[in-house]
Structures are given as structure tokens and as C-alpha cells.
Amino acid sequence: MLAATPVGNSRMNPVYINNQKFAVAVTVNGILAVSVDDFAKALGGTTNLQEAGLRMQGTQLWLIAPTPQTTAARDLQSGLPTGKRMHKPFIIRKNYDVCPSVIGYQGKVYVPVANIAQAFGGTLQVNRNTLHANEPIVLSFPPNPNAAIVANP
């Protein structure tokens, strides 16, 4: 993970992207970050990174775009379609290095919210000094053909 000893606080801020609840951000080393588990849940409804379209390689976190063969919900043991209808609020459009160096803190792995905003083709415009505990972070991203993640209409 990270070599330095991270310093965090208990301030939590819900994150909304295009009016959809996305995750909860915490501050670690002065950086607003979301746990990789919450990021996976937001993308794929599961904490299983592979099923959510994520892959960890060392300290890097990658988005992995689905291939046509991987878009149907599959039973993990048999590999057969589950028959369950899946609606994901966000779509991974291309492979993308979301975070070149994830943050480890208290046994969890985090990705900066600024990196997530970049994956949506935008930037993070939040003043951490005036952000209060439990105050929502509301991010809106217009359609961007270069974005790695887009909202599912």
C-alpha cells in the first residue's frame, strides 16, 4: 500500500455523482478519499473488484471495461447466467488507471475522490477547508466521450 503513516479523521461526507448516491468520502492525509470497496459497490453493486470492473495491480487501481462476454450476470461457481437483471447506475467505457498509488489506512484501501472525478472526465471542485462533516459532496459531469466512466441513463 502506502509507505507513509496516513493520518485520517472521522469526518464523513456522502458523495453524489449526477444526482446518484455514489459513496462516502473520508479525509486521509488531507485527501478526500473513498474506500475501494465503496467504489466497487457504486460501480457494480458488489465489493468483488473483478465483478465491479476493477483490478488492483500492486498499488495501482484500474478500471476494466467489460467485454460483450462479461456483461451478463454470472454464477461464480457454474459460470452460467443467473437470469438476474442488472441495472448499474454507472458504466465503465474503457480501461483506465484510476489511481497510480492507492492509500492504505486502518486496514482499508482508498482512492482519492479527485481521481474518481477524473475518471468521469471532470475535476474535483471542493474546498476541504470549508467542507463540514456529513455535508454532501455533489459532483455533476456532463457527457464526455473521453470519460472512462459515465452515468447510465
Pairing type for strands 96-99 and 8-17 reads: unpaired
pLDDT for 69 equals 52
pLDDT at 89 (0 to 100): 79
pLDDT at residue number 74: 61
Q: Say how far residue 31 (Cα) sits from the centre of its chain.
A: 15
What pLDDT score does 3 carry? 38
Report the first-to-last Cα separation within the chain, whole angstroms: 35
Rounded to whole angstroms, the Cα distance separating 148 from 132 reads 30
Structure confidence at residue 103 (pLDDT): 95
Residues in the chain where the model's pLDDT stays below 70: 1-10, 68-87
Identify the pLDDT of residue 79: 63
* Number of residues assigned to the chain: 153
pLDDT for the residue numbered 6? 45
Q: What is the DSSP string of 87-141?
A: --SEEE-S-EEEESS-EEETTEEEEEHHHHHHHTT------TTTPPTT--EEE--
DSSP structure class, residue 67: P
6 CA to centre of own chain:
20
Sign of the CA dihedral running 57, 9, 119, 38: positive
The predicted structure's pLDDT at residue 95: 94
Angle at 76 between CA 88 and CA 65, to 5 degrees: 40
How much is the pLDDT for 44?
A: 87
Q: What is the pTM of this model?
A: 0.81
Measured between alpha carbons, how far is 119 from 53 in angstroms, rounded to an integer?
13
Q: Which of 11, 54, 16, 43 is nearest to 138 (CA)?
A: 16
